[in-house]
Structure 1
Amino acid sequence: MSEVRKHIVFYGRVQGVGFRYTAKYLTRSLGLTGWVRNDPDGTVTMEVQGREALINKLLVGLNGGHFISIEWMDTKEIPLEEEREFVVKM
């Protein structure tokens, strides 16, 4: 299966609820790479790379977080990058 890379902006209750660290845990358990960061406007931006089915599992897992409430996401596919892990950007 081929890999894809997605740029995703999450809207809703996504800051101050453990979103980035939940993302880090889930992506590492799924073998995905990329990064996640909080943005000044209250959104969270993520770039994630791997098999599309695994990225979909990540999104389901994030939306199932106890305090996390994703209202909507803007998603676009972008070119693949060379990287080895998933990191939380400050």
Structure 2
Amino acid sequence: MSDSQVRYVVRFYGQVQGVGFRATALSHSTGLRVRGFVRNKGDGSVELDVVGPECDLRELVKRIESSMKGNIDDTQVESLPAEERVDEFRIRFF
């Protein structure tokens, strides 16, 4: 397993706002080496923007998809070069 840092920008579509999605994502980040944020978007989707080891990013997306599968219609993942982030994962309200 590589600890090289990557960035995932993930968009979740479906019934993903108003159902505790962001709090669920925050909860599932516990124990993973991820930094970034989750936020609602104006189009009704939820965006996850995180940096960390790719194995932890994949695990976070897997956990979210598993627990929220009844609400997610589509997931789009974009992998990008890592960038500096604060040392936490949080809910963003804007």
Counterpart among 29, 42, 45 of residue 43 in structure 1: 45
With the length of structure 2 as denominator, give the TM-score of the two structures: 0.83
Structure 1 stretches (4+) deviating beyond 6 angstroms?
A: none
Residue 75 of structure 1 corresponds to 77
RMSD value, Cα: 1.7
Deviation at 1:68, TM superposition (A): 5.1
**Mind listing any 5+ residue stretches in structure 2 that lack a counterpart?**
none
- Structure 1, unaligned runs of 5 or more: none
Other-structure match for 1:31: 33
Identity among equivalent pairs (%) = 37
8 Å contact kept, 2:21–2:68: no
* 1:17-49 Cα distance to aligned partner (Å, 9 max, x none): 111111112223212111110012110011111
Task: Say whether the 8 Å CA contact 1:20–1:36 is kept in structure 2.
Answer: yes
Report 1:8-23 matches (<5 A). Answer: 8-23=10-25
User: What are the Cα deviations for residues 29-74 of structure 1, in whole angstroms up to 9, with x where unaligned?
Assistant: 2121111100121100111111212112111211222575221122
- TM-score, structure 1 length as denominator? 0.86
Q: Given that residues 14 and 69 in structure 1 are in contact (C-alpha distance below 8 angstroms), is that contact kept between their aligned partners in structure 2?
A: yes
